[in-house]
Amino acid sequence: MNIDQLKAFHKVAYTGSFTKAARELFLSQPAVSQQIQALESSLGITLFDRSGKKVRLTDEGEILLSHTNRLFHLYNEIELLFGQLRSLEKGKITLGATAVIGTYLLPIFIGRYNRKYPGIEIDLHMGNSNDVHNMLLEGSVDLGFAGRLKAHSNITSVRVHREKLLLVSAPDNPITTRESVTVDELDRASFIWREEGTQTRVLVKEWFEKKVGRNYPRKSIELQNLEAAKRIVVEGYGITILPEIAVKREMHVGLLKRINLKEFDLSFDYYLFYLKRKIFSRATEAFLEMISGFRLFSHAEDLQNHLSMAP
C-alpha cells in the first residue's frame, strides 16, 4: 500500500468512475485500475463492487474511505501549513538576549518584523551572557544576542553591535560638576555592580584592576537587574557604569549625568550566536535579513557580510 494507491482509491470512490478518476489524476484508466488492484491485493479485500454500470464501494471500501478522508484532510492541512511557513504567514522564532540588547534594541526589530509579518510569533528570553549561551546549547532558542564568551566548537558568532560604556550618577552628585575625576577619587562613592555573569561587569572589573588593583571600588553593592541598578542611581545612591543606550533617555531628561573619568574609554561588543549547522526556518532567515539591513546595530554590515558568505 502506498500513497498513490490511496489517492487512486479516493478519487474513484468520489467520482464513481475509473475513467473520471483517471482524468482528474492525469493518469490513464488502466493505470488507475492497476493501482486499485494492487491496493486490494495488498489489503486482501475487495474495495469496489464492479457488477453494475457504476462502481460502488463495498463495506470494506466504506471503512477505508472514512480513513482516507481523514488522511487527505491532514495532507491538505500540511500542504497549507508549510505553504504559509514558506510565505511567512505563519511561523515562530525564539530569541535569547542579554538585558541591553533585549531591552533597548531587539524590541525595535521585533516591532518592525511584526508589522511586516504579523503571523510570525516571536518569543524573547532574557538572561546574562552565560544564560544565553546555555539556551543555545540546550536548543531552546534559535538565535542568541550577548557578549562574547570563550569560543565553543558548536557555536558560530558574529559581531553585530558596539556600545560605549558611561560612568553616571544622579545630577546632584558634586562629582558631576568636575571637569574630570581620577579613578582614585571614586573610592568615596558607592559603586553599583551588575550581577556576576554579565560581560560588562567583567570588562569594567578588569579596567579597575589594571588602574587601581583588586577589590576596587571598596564601597560597592551588586544588583541583579540593569533597570534596578539604574533606578537606584537615579534616586541618588552611588554611581555605576552602564552602556550608553541604557542611560541615554535618563541623561536627556536630566535624571542622570555623566562623570568624566580620566582614561576611561571602554566599549562593549555584542554578538549574534547560533548553533553551527543550524538549519534556519524561513521566518528566522527573514529576521536575520532585516537586522542585517537595518543600521540600528552599529556593525550590521558585519552580519550582512557573514550571511552573504554562509553556505
Answer whether 16's CB lies under 8 Å from 61's CB: no
* Average pLDDT rounded to a whole number, residues 128-134: 89
Which pLDDT score is estimated for 80? 63
pLDDT tens digits for range 85-125 = 676 778 888 999 999 999 999 999 999 999 999 988 999 99
pLDDT tens digits for range 15-33 = 888 888 888 888 898 998 9
* pLDDT of 79 strictly over 90: no
Residues of the chain above pLDDT 70, percent: 96
* pLDDT of 83 strictly over 80: no
Q: What is the spatial distance between Cα 191 and Cα 207, in angstroms, rounded to a whole number?
A: 14
Which pLDDT score is estimated for 254? 95
CATH architecture group of domain 3-86: Orthogonal Bundle (1.10)
* pLDDT of 311 strictly over 70: no
Lowest average pLDDT, out of 50-64, 92-106, 133-147, 246-260, goes to: 50-64
Q: What is the spatial distance between Cα 28 and Cα 211, in angstroms, rounded to a whole number?
A: 86
**Main-chain dihedrals φ then ψ at residue 123, nearest 5 degrees:** -110, 130
pLDDT tens digits for range 36-47 = 999 888 889 899
Residue 166's pLDDT band, with cuts at 50, 70 and 90, is very high
* Average pLDDT rounded to a whole number, residues 78-85: 66
Same fold, 91-161+270-309 and 164-268: yes
Lookup: cell for 285 = 532567515
Helix (H, G, I), strand (E, B) or coil at 130: helix
Which pLDDT score is estimated for 51? 80
* pLDDT of 70 strictly over 80: yes
Q: Which CATH number does 91-161+270-309 carry?
A: 3.40.190.10
Sequential DSSP letters for 18-49 = HHHHHHHHT--HHHHHHHHHHHHHHHTS--EE
Q: Which CATH class is domain 164-268?
A: alpha beta
> By C-alpha distance, which of 158, 98, 174 is closest to 133?
98
Lookup: cell for 200 = 560588562
Q: Select the more confidently predicted residue: 137 or 85.
A: 137
* pLDDT of 158 strictly over 90: yes
Q: Cα 101 to the chain's mean position, in Å?
A: 13
Which pLDDT score is estimated for 84? 65
Distances (CA, A) of 247 to 88, 97, 182: 36, 18, 22
Helix (H, G, I), strand (E, B) or coil at 166: strand
Lookup: cell for 276 = 553551527
pLDDT tens digits for range 173-230 = 888 888 888 888 887 789 999 888 788 888 999 998 888 887 788 888 998 888 999 9
Q: What is the spatial distance between Cα 70 and Cα 303, in angstroms, rounded to a whole number?
A: 45
* Average pLDDT rounded to a whole number, residues 52-56: 80
Q: Cα 112 to the chain's mean position, in Å?
A: 14
Average predicted confidence (pLDDT) for the chain: 88
Place of cell 549547522: 277
Q: What is the spatial distance between Cα 134 and Cα 114, in angstroms, rounded to a whole number?
A: 27
Question: Can you give the residue ranges of every domain in the chain?
Answer: 3-86, 91-161+270-309, 164-268
CA 141, 81, 107, 277: dihedral to nearest 10 degrees?
30
Lowest average pLDDT, out of 47-61, 100-114, 246-260, goes to: 47-61
